[in-house]
Amino acid sequence: METESTPQEITSLVGREVYSNNGVFVGEIEDIQLDLQREAVTGLALGDVNRELFETRLSGSKGVIVPYRWVRAVGDVVLVNDVVERLSEPDGEEAAA
């Protein structure tokens, strides 16, 4: 029965806003990145992103993929680690994909 409810749970993420745990808007979920072999979510594809956070990394792209391991909480909005805020800094920490 769990596998039947999983697609509903995954699709319910689409359209939710994503914020850092410091309250900074990151973007809106447009799609989910999956590892089909492990049946696990591996990333969140964000559109309508906060350009201030990603301007040095976007270079014409419309969105970004945030690693799912950065997710702290899922509710009405999705909270991710504040590491995403450091991406805008020249020496910001980047997670390996």
- Per-domain residue ranges for the chain? 2-88
pLDDT digits (tens, 9 = 90+) for 34-84: 999 998 889 999 988 888 887 766 666 678 889 999 999 999 999 999 887
Read off the pTM.
Answer: 0.75
Nearest to 12 by CA among 37, 47, 44, 49: 44
Give residue 95's pLDDT: 42
Nearest to 70 by CA among 56, 58, 82: 82
Dihedral angle, C-alpha 58, 45, 71, 88, nearest 10 °: 10
Give residue 33's pLDDT: 92
Residues in CB range of 83: below 8 A, 6 or more apart: 70, 93, 95
Q: Are strands 78-80 and 17-20 parallel, antiparallel or unpaired?
A: parallel
- If residue 45 lies in a helix (H) or strand (E), which one and from where to where? strand 40-47
**In terms of CATH architecture, what is 2-88?**
Roll (2.30)
